[in-house]
Structure 1
């Protein structure tokens, strides 16, 4: 399954097909599908997807019978257990220019649970200073930079989301391609940093906006190659993550 250009729908193909089949909700013909990300669950054989019109809503698609694909409206809008952030985090998250830019979906590697990852960005000058884009004249040169992430886990009983403040040995990877979750213990010690989110450039991000977000202390470590110039205002081929094979550790 793929998301069509500019989040304007979904399409799928099966083995032997020579073309893609676009999806339409059979129960709501004409319903505009606006997915922002999707993830496949091998446990229940469903494709989960988020919608651009909702921060935390969730749909699922059943393609077990490709001739009759079905959309499942899960209605998972509520979020439970807001973390008690330290004052510094509360102040930053209330900053007027901080915006929620992108939602990602990933399947937790061992449990198979659905994880929702929210990426927050703000306008930043070349030296990293945060710019209040709501109150500036936009004459200052800036681009968007990642500052924080929120993670929540889908609760099948509550039909909502539980905040996740600690990923344990889990590691998330997000960017322009699909998001995924790995366990640091499946790899040699030191290969992956547990309880972290590895992120790279998305569409509106700075070209050097590549780093590791620490879920415990809310810090970000840049992993942009130091010998390269960021070329902040030039479009370059966007880097993507690939999934390694833990057996080759």
Structure 2
């Protein structure tokens, strides 16, 4: 299942198909921005630009079924400083599932540049465009909203140009992954941003040594994350 960005619609294909099957044409208020599959309930979850959340049941391929999920409230969000609140206009959302529980996570990434006086620096200047912090929520189907997540425990999130995913640091050799962190990369026009966000102290640090910062010069080929299999050691 994929998002056809030019047509703002979803499509799927199965083994043996020679073409994609479009699910539906969205109105402008239902522009899909992210899509993930749940092994837990065997549904595709789609986040839309207007904050709507839908799930797709493709068990019967001749009659795909859309499930509307009400998520109107965000619970437990801390009161951030005023300067950081202004960055909310420059936020990007993505979805991921926790590897063990199967719970759906909503990740908000805030990017831009804040001057000392609290004003937002024009992000048309590529040198000022960078990731500042993240906010993570867990879907609460009972309250029909999102619960603020303060700690990922041994969890590690990977987000970037491809789909986001969640791993447990305990499934790998000690020190390979930093628990309670978000590994990210972003490709914005000619600027490239990559790092590790620490959920405990809200800091961002570089993944690579300084001599590897030449990655910022990569054009048209932004890196993507891939999922290793910890059982294949």
- Coarse TM-score class (shorter-chain normalised): 0.7 to 0.9
Please name the residue that 2:22 is paired with. Answer: 22
Q: TM-score, normalised by structure 2?
A: 0.88
Give the conservation status (yes or no) of the 8 Å contact 1:196–1:212. yes
Instruction: Name which of 84, 90, 93 aligns with 2:81.
Output: 90
Find out whether 1:238 has 2:227 as its counterpart: no
Find out whether 1:118 has 2:113 as its counterpart: no
CA distance in 2, matches of 1:108, 1:139: 35
Give the conservation status (yes or no) of the 8 Å contact 1:123–1:142. no
Cα distance change of structure 1 residues 186 and 242 upon mapping to structure 2, 3 Å threshold: same
CA distance in 2, matches of 1:246, 1:60: 29
Q: TM-score, normalised by structure 1?
A: 0.83
- For the residue of structure 1 that corresponds to 2:231, the secondary structure is helix
Please name the residue that 1:104 is paired with. Answer: 94
CA distance in 2, matches of 1:141, 1:182: 31
Deviation at 1:77, TM superposition (A): 2.1
Find out whether 1:210 has 2:194 as its counterpart: yes
Cα distance change of structure 1 residues 59 and 98 upon mapping to structure 2, 3 Å threshold: closer
Give the conservation status (yes or no) of the 8 Å contact 1:97–1:131. no
- Equivalent residue pairs, number: 232
- For the residue of structure 2 that corresponds to 1:185, the secondary structure is helix
Q: Which has the higher helix share?
A: 2
Find out whether 1:35 has 2:19 as its counterpart: no
CA distance in 1, matches of 2:143, 2:124: 47
- For the residue of structure 1 that corresponds to 2:60, the secondary structure is coil
Runs of 4+ in 1 over 6 A off after TM superposition: 138-141
Deviation at 1:142, TM superposition (A): 3.6
Q: Which has the higher strand share?
A: 2
